[in-house]
Amino acid sequence: MSGSLLITFDKVWKSYGQGEATVHALAGVDLAIRHGEFVAIMGPSGSGKSTAMNIIGCLDTPTAGTYSFMGIDAGRLDRNRRAMLRNLYVGFVFQGYNLLPRTTAVENVELPLIYRGVAARERHDLAMKALAEVGLVGREHHTPAELSGGQQQRVAIARAIVTRPTLLVADEPTGNLDTARTHEIMELLTRLNTELGLTIAMVTHEADVAGYAERTIRFLDGHVASDAMNLEVV
Partner 1 sequence: MIWETVRLSLLSVRRNVLRSFLTLLGIVIGVAAVIAMLTIGSGTTEKVKADISKLGSNLLVVRPGRPAGPGGPGGLDQATRPLGSKELAALVTHLSGARAISPASQKQVRVIFGTESLTSGVTGTDSAYLDARDWKLVSGRPFSDSEIRSGTGVCLIGETVRLQFFGAGDPEGEIIRVNRTSCRIIGLLEPKGYTGFGQDQDNVVLMPLAAYQRRIAGNRDIDSIYVAADDRTPTTELLPRVEDILRDTRRITPDRENDFSIRDMTQIADAMASATTTMTGMLGAVAGVSLLVGGIGIMNIMLVSVTERTREIGIRLAIGAHENHILIQFLVEATVLSLLGGIIGILIGLALAGLASLTLAIPFAPSPAVILLAVGFSALIGMVFGFFPALRGARLDPIDALRHE
Where along the sequence are the contacts to partner 1 (CB under 8 A)? 54, 57, 59-60, 79-80, 83-84, 86-88, 90-92, 94, 98-102, 111-112, 114-117, 120, 159, 163
Q: What is the DSSP string of 134-150?
A: TT-TT-TT--GGGS-HH
Measured from the CB atom, the residue of 103 and 190 that comes closer to partner 1 is 103
Q: How far apart are CA 131 and CA 35, in angstroms?
A: 24
**Shortest distance in whole angstroms from residue 10 CB to partner 1:** 22
**Shortest distance in whole angstroms from residue 231 CB to partner 1:** 34
Measured from the CB atom, the residue of 201 and 212 that comes closer to partner 1 is 201
**Shortest distance in whole angstroms from residue 223 CB to partner 1:** 21
**Shortest distance in whole angstroms from residue 85 CB to partner 1:** 8
Measured from the CB atom, the residue of 36 and 144 that comes closer to partner 1 is 144
**Shortest distance in whole angstroms from residue 25 CB to partner 1:** 12
Q: How far apart are CA 116 and CA 88, in angstroms?
A: 8
Measured from the CB atom, the residue of 32 and 100 that comes closer to partner 1 is 100
Measured from the CB atom, the residue of 48 and 57 that comes closer to partner 1 is 57
